[in-house]
Chains A and B, each alone.
Chain A
Amino acid sequence: MLSLLAVEIPYWGQSLLRVLGGLVAVLLPAGTIVYVFLFKMMSFMQSRLGPMEAGPYGSMQLFAEVGKWLQKEDIQPDNADKRIFRMAPIVVLMSTFLLVAVVPFGPDAWFTDFETGVFYALAVSSISVLGILMAGWSSANKYSLLGGLRAAGQLIAYELPMVLAVIGVVIQAETMNLQQIVVAQNAGSIFGSDIVGNPYVLTQFVGFVVFMIAVQAELTQAPFDMPIAESELVSGYMTEYSGFRFLIFFIGEFATAGVFAMIASTLFLGGWGVPFSWFGWTTMDSVDNWMNVAGPLIVFTKMMVLVFLIMWIRFSYPRFREDQLQRFAWKVLIPISLANIMVTAVLKVAF
């Protein structure tokens, strides 16, 4: 990423830039998602206008909300395990920042270039379970406890189909490096036709569907939102949180949605790239430099499309019951994704 700038930057400067870049890559999509989907799209689906007063067309509403939350009293329940209570939101948000570290945004625009990026991403995504469990346990509230336990059960159950769905992609791309997966998709071809490259959403469609369902569950969005379940558990593990700490949970929810969508677009929609055949590129090295600028925008666009899908489902479906959700994960998604791996492996050898 930093080779773009023709100056020598000391190590601390590089680290600082990476942290700032990470902040932008997490918070900018989160803010956009909240405004575009939570405030506006949801309102239009429900025949109302949504926020209109703060800023032009209500676009500054999120800033107003943040301002409101920052002013609120920081309430901690008497019986709460105070230290754990304070740490929990940070842990949840941390997993989001760790996730974005491996998302490639352009041929040279990346934070880290892991050889085992897929493995790392799936591993750190489960850190948020810890935070949620901590929040649920430390709040000293029965609803929080139920919510936290539900969340833990759910996230662990859906981690598995997610991993299994990604294995199909890894088999096809022959690498676990996310950057290489992007290249493999855009430089690839389907039955000799390279007009759109080989985005794995086409050749790994089953994997894509399973992955998106698992993402929906990992994000605890409806129909998998029983950890929060506002009509049953008040607000689940977030019940006792207010003000700034609630804000972190809130931002974390949508930031994680954004980052998961980025990872999904990297794995299945060709990430930052456009089909290489359009510009006559063949390998990573022949990609023009302007892709470092266009790449983030392309990732962002693809992310918005996927988040739209997630939110669309969220706003229209009722929620499952906890046991139905587990049954769905273990009896439907996991067998499907195992079959997907088998078929992918056989076809990989055959072609």
Chain B
Amino acid sequence: MTILNDPVSAKLGDRAQLSYIASQAADARLNVELETEGMTLNIGPQHPATHGTLRIIARLDGEQVLWAEPSCGYMHRGYEKLTEVRSFPQVTSLINRIDWLGSFANEVPFILAAEKLMGVEAPPRAQWIRTILFELSRIANVSLFLGDLGVQLGAITPVFMAFRDREYVLNLIESATGGRFHPNFDRIGGLKDDLPAGWIDETKVVMKKLRNFCDEIESLLFGNEIFQSRTRGIGVIPRDVAMQYGLSGANLRASGVDWDLRRDQDSSMAWNKVDFKVWTHPDGDSFARCWVRLQETREATKIVDQLLDGIPAGPVMAKVPKIIKVPEGEAWVSTENPLGEMGYYVVSRGDSGPFRVKIRSASFNNISITPWLLRGVYVPDIITILASLYFILGDIDR
């Protein structure tokens, strides 16, 4: 069945086309002169569904959204500016707090950028442990998403399962780094410490638990008909629109774009040493985004397992001077963080601290599509779409 013949919707499925028509109709109704009075609903800044303080200004007609716009900045903490008055080793404790659910992953690109400027490279063991911790923070981050997804859609049980099993991952991160949420473990030239004894076996057990958790969530949520009817065909992002808005991470891959920096970019991390699949989904709807994240969590546990098997021996710290001065220059490094592409553009003037840091965080770009996406949907779908786009407020406002 083809409902529309225009180029954007030609590639979409039936249900996706219907939601596309609804959004077009919403556009049309905005310009009608005589209309019943709508209602402007402020969702947020204080609202249970916004993971913090995102504000969505939505113009409603009944329960249908005519126009919506995100208004961010309620949690701006000025990290880009603050880094200018810190030395390079101090910066990691700040940028930990950008995406607070996957903290370790925030440190890595910055450290890589600094290493690139200094011309040092971490020893292989450090690179492997970095990658393991990176993937663990991805699991800690996305497993919470999988549970929280249930809460956003009204199922209260999955979130407790998520918190239960995420706890194991956090315990691992804590025993390796000393920090539960904010490890601050990455150093220029390597890591602060080696892994504690017994950590590898423990991690393997936990990875098995996490795979069980994924199965549990898959049968409890993803197989549920109500869940499917709430997410399938809702918030469809076609492939080219996703690329135009600069989406990244699972949001982009759910629109059928096979793009993952872990595989496609040559970095000094250990991802190219292991074998993993980059999951994509052709639909681009909310279900696809959630499904891709579920598969990625599974894939991350497998990556960790493989890395644990092949972890090389040796030091975890390269030879770097006691007082770190980064030579003059500019470097851009980005990695595939739990939320999408995260990158740091570091400008150094040869001091002990950076002269300017530009942070490209994934969520900021990912929510930029919401005005386009929210036209014509119903109020409950706003929540579905926001939940499936998965942003962390710290990652938006920095």
Task: Please report A residues at the B interface, Cβ cutoff 8 Å.
Answer: 42, 45-48, 142-143, 146, 150, 222-223, 225-226, 229-234, 315-324
Q: A226 near B226 (CB under 8 angstroms)?
A: no
Provide the bound-state CA to CA distance between A146 and B157, in Å: 25
CB distance from B203 to the nearest CB of A (A): 22
Q: A146 near B383 (CB under 8 angstroms)?
A: no
Select which of A45, A222, A231, A324 is within 8 A of B48 by beta carbon. A231
Question: Given contacts A229-B380, A234-B47, A323-B378, are A318 and B154 in contact (CB under 8 A)?
Answer: yes
Q: A223 near B157 (CB under 8 angstroms)?
A: no
A-B contact pairs, 22 of them (CB 8 A): A45-B157, A46-B156, A46-B161, A48-B160, A146-B41, A146-B379, A222-B154, A229-B154, A231-B152, A231-B154, A231-B383, A232-B382, A316-B220, A318-B153, A318-B155, A319-B153, A319-B155, A321-B229, A321-B230, A321-B378, A322-B378, A322-B380
CB neighbours of A222 from chain B (8 A): 154-156
CB distance from A138 to the nearest CB of B (A): 17
CB neighbours of A318 from chain B (8 A): 150, 153-155, 221, 224, 226-227, 230
Q: A317 near B226 (CB under 8 angstroms)?
A: yes
Within 8 A of A (CB), among B139-168: 150-157, 160-161, 164
Within 8 A of A (CB), among B20-55: 39, 41, 47-49
Closest to A224 in B: B154
CB neighbours of B275 from chain A (8 A): none
CB distance from A288 to the nearest CB of B (A): 44
Question: Given contacts A317-B155, A318-B227, A322-B63, are A232 and B380 in contact (CB under 8 A)?
Answer: yes
Q: B230 near A315 (CB under 8 angstroms)?
A: no
Select which of B49, B154, B160, B381 is within 8 A of A47 by beta carbon. B160
Select which of A46, A146, A317 is within 8 A of B160 by beta carbon. A46
CB neighbours of A229 from chain B (8 A): 154, 380
CB distance from B113 to the nearest CB of A (A): 38
Q: A321 near B380 (CB under 8 angstroms)?
A: yes
Question: Given contacts A48-B160, A317-B226, A318-B227, are A231 and B151 in contact (CB under 8 A)?
Answer: yes
Provide the bound-state CA to CA distance between A42 and B156, in Å: 9
Which applies to chain B's interface (DSSP): helix, strand, loop or mixed?
helix
CB neighbours of B221 from chain A (8 A): 318
Interface size on B, residues (CB 8 A): 30
Provide the bound-state CA to CA distance between A320 and B225, in Å: 10
Question: Given contacts A234-B48, A318-B154, are A324 and B229 in contact (CB under 8 A)?
Answer: yes
Closest to A319 in B: B154
Q: A146-B63, A317-B226 are in contact. List 7 more A-B contacts (CB 8 A).
A: A222-B156, A225-B154, A232-B383, A315-B157, A317-B154, A318-B224, A324-B229
Q: A142 near B154 (CB under 8 angstroms)?
A: no
Task: Please report B residues at the A interface, Cβ cutoff 8 Å.
Answer: 39, 41, 47-49, 63, 150-157, 160-161, 164, 220-221, 224, 226-227, 229-230, 378-383
CB neighbours of B152 from chain A (8 A): 231
Q: A319 near B226 (CB under 8 angstroms)?
A: yes
What 8 A-B pairs come out closest when comparing CB atoms? A319-B154, A46-B160, A318-B153, A318-B155, A318-B154, A321-B380, A231-B49, A231-B152
Provide the bound-state CA to CA distance between A142 and B63, in Å: 11
Closest to A48 in B: B160
CB distance from A137 to the nearest CB of B (A): 14
Provide the bound-state CA to CA distance between A231 and B151, in Å: 7
CB distance from B157 to the nearest CB of A (A): 5
Question: Given contacts A230-B48, A315-B156, are A320 and B382 in contact (CB under 8 A)?
Answer: no
CB distance from A179 to the nearest CB of B (A): 38
Provide the bound-state CA to CA distance between A233 and B48, in Å: 9
CB neighbours of B220 from chain A (8 A): 316
CB neighbours of A150 from chain B (8 A): 63
Q: A46 near B47 (CB under 8 angstroms)?
A: no
CB neighbours of B230 from chain A (8 A): 318-321, 324
Select which of A47, A142, A226, A231 is within 8 A of B39 by beta carbon. A142
Q: B63 near A316 (CB under 8 angstroms)?
A: no
Provide the bound-state CA to CA distance between A102 and B229, in Å: 39
CB distance from A206 to the nearest CB of B (A): 20
CB neighbours of A226 from chain B (8 A): 154, 380
Q: B160 near A320 (CB under 8 angstroms)?
A: no
CB neighbours of A48 from chain B (8 A): 160
Closest to A315 in B: B157
Provide the bound-state CA to CA distance between A233 and B41, in Å: 11
Provide the bound-state CA to CA distance between A315 and B227, in Å: 14
CB neighbours of A232 from chain B (8 A): 49, 379-380, 382-383
CB neighbours of A225 from chain B (8 A): 154
Provide the bound-state CA to CA distance between A105 and B161, in Å: 41
Provide the bound-state CA to CA distance between A318 and B228, in Å: 10
Closest to B40 in A: A142
Q: A223 near B63 (CB under 8 angstroms)?
A: no
Closest to A235 in B: B48
CB neighbours of B153 from chain A (8 A): 231, 318-319
Closest to B380 in A: A321
CB distance from A301 to the nearest CB of B (A): 26
CB neighbours of B224 from chain A (8 A): 317-318
CB neighbours of B63 from chain A (8 A): 146, 150, 322
Provide the bound-state CA to CA distance between A233 and B156, in Å: 16
Q: A223 near B226 (CB under 8 angstroms)?
A: yes
Q: B381 near A321 (CB under 8 angstroms)?
A: yes
CB neighbours of A322 from chain B (8 A): 63, 378, 380
CB neighbours of A47 from chain B (8 A): 160-161, 164
CB neighbours of B151 from chain A (8 A): 231
Closest to B64 in A: A323
Provide the bound-state CA to CA distance between A322 and B160, in Å: 26
Provide the bound-state CA to CA distance between A306 and B270, in Å: 55
CB neighbours of A42 from chain B (8 A): 156
Provide the bound-state CA to CA distance between A142 and B378, in Å: 15
Provide the bound-state CA to CA distance between A142 and B161, in Å: 33
CB distance from B30 to the nearest CB of A (A): 20
Q: Which of A223, A321, A322, A324 has the most CB of B within 10 A?
A: A321
Provide the bound-state CA to CA distance between A45 and B39, in Å: 39
Closest to B50 in A: A231
Closest to A316 in B: B157
CB distance from B268 to the nearest CB of A (A): 40
CB distance from B169 to the nearest CB of A (A): 16
CB distance from B215 to the nearest CB of A (A): 16
Provide the bound-state CA to CA distance between A225 and B226, in Å: 13
CB distance from A325 to the nearest CB of B (A): 10
CB neighbours of B49 from chain A (8 A): 231-232
Provide the bound-state CA to CA distance between A324 and B48, in Å: 23
CB neighbours of A143 from chain B (8 A): 41
CB neighbours of B379 from chain A (8 A): 146, 232-233
